[in-house]
A and B are shown apart, each in its own frame.
Chain A
Amino acid sequence: MFKRRICWAASCYIAGVYLGQFMDMAYAIRAAFLMIIICVVKVLLSRKAAFLFPCFLSICMALGVLHFQTVVDTRQKPIAPFIDQPITFTCRIVADPILKENRIEYTADIYRIRLNKVFFSVKSKVKLICPLHEGNDSYGYGDVLNISSRLFFPSQSMNEGGFNYYYYLQSKGVDAICYAKPYQIEYADEEVPYNRLTEYAYYIRKSILDTIDSYLPQNEAAFLKGIMVGDRSGFSEKMKEDFSRSGIYHVVAVSGMHVSILLAGIMYFFGILRLNKFIIHGISIFFILQFILITGSTPSVLRAGIMACIFLLAFLVNREADSLTSLGLSAWVILLYNPLILFDAGFQLSYGATLSLLFFYKPLYTLLKQLPKGVGELAATSASAQLGTVIITAYHFNGISLVSIAGNLFVVPLIPIIFIMGFALYIMGNISSWLGTIIAGFEYVVLKLILAVTDLLGSIPFAVVRVPSPTPLVIAVYLLLLFMVYNVLQGKKKIATLNGFLLIVIIIGGLLISFFPTDNLEITFVNVGQGDCALIVSPGGRTVLIDGGGSEGMSSFDVGESIVIPYLLKRGIMHIDMAIISHYHDDHAEGIQTLFENKFIGTLLLPLRKEKTELMEKIIETARYNGVSMYYLSEGDHVKIGDGIYMQVLSPGPEQLEKAFENENNASVVLRLNYNKFSCLFTGDIEKEAEYALLQKKDVLKADVLKIPHHGSPTSSTEEFIGRVSPRYAVISVGKNSFGHPSEQVLQRLVEKGVRIYRTDVNGTITFITDGKRIRKIKVLREGE
Chain B
Amino acid sequence: MTCPVVPGNKLVRYILGLVFPPKCIFCGTLLHPLAYVEICPLCYKEIPFVKGKTCTTCGKPIDKPFGPAQCLDCRDRKNYFAWNVSPCEYRGIIREAIVRFKFFGKRRYARTLGSLMLYSLRRKKLCLHDVVVVYTPLHKEKLKERGFNQAKLLAEVIAQGLGCTLGRDILLKIKNTPPQSSLSRGQRMQNLRGAFRLNKNISIAGKNILLVDDVYTTGTTINECARLLIKAGAKEVYAVTAAIGRGID
- When C-beta atoms are compared, the residue in chain B nearest to A319 turns out to be B20
Contact pick for A319, options B16, B30, B144, B147, CB 8 Å: B16
Q: Which of A310-349 contact B (CB under 8 A)?
A: 310, 314, 317-322, 325-326, 329
Contact of A325 with B19 at beta-carbon distance under 8 Å, contacts A3-B30, A5-B33, A274-B144 already known: yes
Residues of chain A contacted by B19 (CB below 8 angstroms): 6, 310, 321, 325-326, 329
Q: Does B23 contact A (CB under 8 A)?
A: yes
Residues of chain A contacted by B18 (CB below 8 angstroms): 5-6, 325
Contact of A325 with B147 at beta-carbon distance under 8 Å, contacts A4-B30, A318-B107, A320-B108 already known: no
Q: Does B142 contact A (CB under 8 A)?
A: no
Q: Does A277 contact B (CB under 8 A)?
A: yes
- When C-beta atoms are compared, the residue in chain A nearest to B22 turns out to be A319
Residues of chain A contacted by B16 (CB below 8 angstroms): 317, 319
- Cα distance, A277 to B105, chains bound together (Å): 11
Contact pick for A277, options B20, B106, B147, CB 8 Å: B147
Interchain nearest-CB distance for B208 vs A (Å): 29
Q: Number of contacting residues on A, CB 8 A?
A: 17
- When C-beta atoms are compared, the residue in chain A nearest to B21 turns out to be A322
- When C-beta atoms are compared, the residue in chain A nearest to B25 turns out to be A320
Residues of chain A contacted by B107 (CB below 8 angstroms): 318
- Cα distance, A295 to B16, chains bound together (Å): 29
Interchain nearest-CB distance for A316 vs B (Å): 11
- Cα distance, A319 to B106, chains bound together (Å): 9
Interchain nearest-CB distance for A238 vs B (Å): 45
- Cα distance, A277 to B33, chains bound together (Å): 26
Residues of chain B contacted by A314 (CB below 8 angstroms): 20
Interchain nearest-CB distance for B246 vs A (Å): 31
Q: Is the beta-carbon distance between A321 and B147 smaller than 8 angstroms?
A: no
- Cα distance, A317 to B107, chains bound together (Å): 10
Among A5, A6, A319, A329, the one with the most B-chain Cβ atoms within 10 Å of its Cβ is A319
Q: Is the beta-carbon distance between A4 and B147 smaller than 8 angstroms?
A: no
- Cα distance, A326 to B33, chains bound together (Å): 15
Interchain nearest-CB distance for B157 vs A (Å): 11
Q: Is the beta-carbon distance between A322 and B20 smaller than 8 angstroms?
A: yes
Q: Number of contacting residues on B, CB 8 A?
A: 15
- Cα distance, A87 to B110, chains bound together (Å): 66
Q: Which of B1-49 contact A (CB under 8 A)?
A: 16, 18-23, 30, 33
- Cα distance, A274 to B108, chains bound together (Å): 23
Among B21, B33, B110, B144, the one with the most A-chain Cβ atoms within 10 Å of its Cβ is B21
- When C-beta atoms are compared, the residue in chain A nearest to B17 turns out to be A319
Interchain nearest-CB distance for A757 vs B (Å): 55
Contact of A322 with B30 at beta-carbon distance under 8 Å, contacts A4-B21, A317-B20 already known: yes
Q: Is the beta-carbon distance between A321 and B30 smaller than 8 angstroms?
A: no
Q: Which of B187-219 contact A (CB under 8 A)?
A: none
Residues of chain B contacted by A319 (CB below 8 angstroms): 16, 20, 22, 108
Q: Is the beta-carbon distance between B23 and A318 smaller than 8 angstroms?
A: no
- Cα distance, A4 to B110, chains bound together (Å): 23
- Cα distance, A319 to B30, chains bound together (Å): 13
Interchain nearest-CB distance for A29 vs B (Å): 27
- Cα distance, A166 to B106, chains bound together (Å): 48
- Cα distance, A325 to B22, chains bound together (Å): 11
Q: Which of B128-167 contact A (CB under 8 A)?
A: 144, 147
- Cα distance, A310 to B15, chains bound together (Å): 13
- Cα distance, A5 to B15, chains bound together (Å): 11
Residues of chain B contacted by A310 (CB below 8 angstroms): 19-20
Contact pick for B21, options A3, A274, A317, A318, CB 8 Å: A3
Among B19, B23, B106, the one with the most A-chain Cβ atoms within 10 Å of its Cβ is B19
- Cα distance, A696 to B30, chains bound together (Å): 82
Residues of chain B contacted by A3 (CB below 8 angstroms): 21, 30
- Cα distance, A326 to B19, chains bound together (Å): 7
Residues of chain B contacted by A329 (CB below 8 angstroms): 19
Contact pick for A320, options B33, B106, B110, B144, CB 8 Å: B106
Q: Is the beta-carbon distance between A325 and B20 smaller than 8 angstroms?
A: yes
Residues of chain B contacted by A325 (CB below 8 angstroms): 18-21
Contact pick for A322, options B23, B108, B110, CB 8 Å: B23
Query: Contact string, B104-129, partner A, CB cutoff 8 A, digits 1/0?
Result: 00111010000000000000000000
- Cα distance, A210 to B19, chains bound together (Å): 40
Among A277, A318, A325, the one with the most B-chain Cβ atoms within 10 Å of its Cβ is A318
- When C-beta atoms are compared, the residue in chain A nearest to B148 turns out to be A277
Q: Is the beta-carbon distance between B20 and A320 smaller than 8 angstroms?
A: yes
Interchain nearest-CB distance for A476 vs B (Å): 27
- Cα distance, A412 to B16, chains bound together (Å): 35
Q: Which of B47-101 contact A (CB under 8 A)?
A: none
- When C-beta atoms are compared, the residue in chain B nearest to A278 turns out to be B147
Residues of chain B contacted by A6 (CB below 8 angstroms): 18-19
Residues of chain B contacted by A274 (CB below 8 angstroms): 144
- Cα distance, A287 to B107, chains bound together (Å): 24
Interchain nearest-CB distance for A276 vs B (Å): 8
Interchain nearest-CB distance for A289 vs B (Å): 18
- Cα distance, A318 to B110, chains bound together (Å): 10
- When C-beta atoms are compared, the residue in chain B nearest to A277 turns out to be B147
- Cα distance, A318 to B22, chains bound together (Å): 11
Query: Contact string, A10-31, partner B, CB cutoff 8 A, digits 1/0?
Result: 0000000000000000000000
Residues of chain A contacted by B106 (CB below 8 angstroms): 320
- Cα distance, A5 to B19, chains bound together (Å): 9
Among A3, A4, A320, A321, the one with the most B-chain Cβ atoms within 10 Å of its Cβ is A320
Contact of A318 with B108 at beta-carbon distance under 8 Å, contacts A5-B18, A6-B18, A325-B21 already known: yes
- Cα distance, A310 to B20, chains bound together (Å): 9
Among B16, B20, B30, B108, the one with the most A-chain Cβ atoms within 10 Å of its Cβ is B20
- When C-beta atoms are compared, the residue in chain B nearest to A5 turns out to be B18
Interchain nearest-CB distance for B26 vs A (Å): 13
- Cα distance, A277 to B21, chains bound together (Å): 23
Q: Is the beta-carbon distance between A321 and B20 smaller than 8 angstroms?
A: yes
Q: Is the beta-carbon distance between B23 and A320 smaller than 8 angstroms?
A: yes
- When C-beta atoms are compared, the residue in chain A nearest to B29 turns out to be A3
- When C-beta atoms are compared, the residue in chain B nearest to A326 turns out to be B19
Residues of chain B contacted by A326 (CB below 8 angstroms): 19
Residues of chain A contacted by B23 (CB below 8 angstroms): 320, 322
Query: Contact string, A769-783, partner B, CB cutoff 8 A, digits 1/0?
Result: 000000000000000
- Cα distance, A277 to B22, chains bound together (Å): 22
- Cα distance, A317 to B23, chains bound together (Å): 15
Interchain nearest-CB distance for B150 vs A (Å): 13
- When C-beta atoms are compared, the residue in chain B nearest to A329 turns out to be B19
- Cα distance, A318 to B17, chains bound together (Å): 12
- Cα distance, A94 to B208, chains bound together (Å): 67
- Cα distance, A321 to B20, chains bound together (Å): 5
- Cα distance, A182 to B30, chains bound together (Å): 62
- Cα distance, A318 to B106, chains bound together (Å): 9
- When C-beta atoms are compared, the residue in chain B nearest to A3 turns out to be B30
Q: Which 4 A-B pairs have the closest CB atoms?
A: A319-B20, A3-B30, A277-B147, A322-B21
Give residues in A with beta carbon < 8 Å to B. 3-6, 274, 277, 310, 314, 317-322, 325-326, 329
**Sampled A-B contacts (17; CB under 8 Å):** A3-B21, A5-B21, A6-B19, A274-B144, A277-B147, A314-B20, A317-B20, A318-B107, A318-B110, A319-B20, A319-B22, A320-B20, A322-B30, A325-B19, A325-B20, A325-B21, A329-B19
Give 15 A-B pairs besides A5-B33, A310-B20 with Cβ atoms closer than 8 angstroms: A3-B21, A4-B21, A5-B18, A5-B21, A6-B18, A317-B16, A318-B108, A319-B22, A319-B108, A320-B20, A320-B23, A321-B19, A322-B20, A325-B18, A325-B19
Give residues in B with beta carbon < 8 Å to A. 16, 18-23, 30, 33, 106-108, 110, 144, 147
